[in-house]
Amino acid sequence: MAVYSRIAGTGSGLPEKILTNKDLEQFVETSDEWIASRTGIRQRHVAAEGETTCDLAERAARAAMEAAGVTAAELDMIVVGTTTPDLIFPSTACLLQHRLGANGCAAFDVNAACSGFIYALSVADNFIRAGNAKTVLVVGAETLTRMLDWSDRNTCVLFGDGAGAVVLKADTEAGILSTHLHADGGKKELLYNPVGVSVGFKPEEKNAGVRVLMTGNEVFKHAVKALDAVVDETLEANGLQKSDLDWLIPHQANLRIIEATAKRLDMPMDRVIVTVHKHGNTSSGSVPLALDEAVRSGKIQRGQLLLLEAFGGGFTWGSALIRY
């Protein structure tokens, strides 16, 4: 009998501090109108001093586990998608595992930038399908504001901090129908952070280690094209039509990209989950945050068909088709 993975529970973790576009006007040359018209973002959550990626991940994980009715002892694996881990090592997943009291199960991070949650979800799904795990905690968590240059108005207005989580459980009924992952390392220069362990942190440079470098217009073009292709790939792989989808849950980076994908799918915006206006781009946290909000608000109902998709630095991109 075939084994599938189903989403048993979802959760979110957001910092209390909210930074609005009006707040940004006080220290960088920008305006609420300029930011909102180009991105759809009105505010974002920002981690407090001493508040880490693992703190946000723990909040999301506990909420998802409670919703799923799962204890720490039942977890076979923890996979955390993040590009802003607490430490270089051990992984944030290991730190999270200990906090939850799930010591002993497999735990590791996946770094695929904004596609991190989709990648982590795919890894977990494949472990369950292979029979190597029955209950897996999957988290997307970031504190991207820690590596922003707050004097660069092209990037500092875009990002926020947050975490989302799901608990996957093995089931004989199909939940995650398919996942599709892609990457193109040849586009590194269009969206990246130039420092690292092996390359070096270069502390003498201004804002070393806190710079997201991005060529926005090029990223936009590549993102729309890549997401179009992966949407087609996903529907074709499952023998479905665009009209079969109940909800689109996209990466929350830019409202224009979201609208372009929805248009391609002939989906009205009221069938698209949008949180970018209040969360900004939380990278790997964005898709699970949007999913959790839609589930808890009652929009998403059991049995409905969901298309999750994301695009991020690398470039990386991917999708997941889910019968919720």
Radius of gyration of the chain from its Cα atoms, rounded to whole angstroms: 19
Choose the catalytic residue: 21, 111, 254, 281: 281
Which residue in 111, 251, 254, 279 is the catalytic one? 251
| d(C-alpha 5, C-alpha 168), whole Å | 6
Contact between 168 and 124 (Cβ < 8 Å): yes
Instruction: Specify whether 114 is catalytic.
Output: yes
The catalytic position among 114, 180, 254, 279 is: 114
Is 281 in the active site? yes
| Cβ(20)–Cβ(35) below 8 Å | no
**Residues catalogued as catalytic:** 114, 251, 281
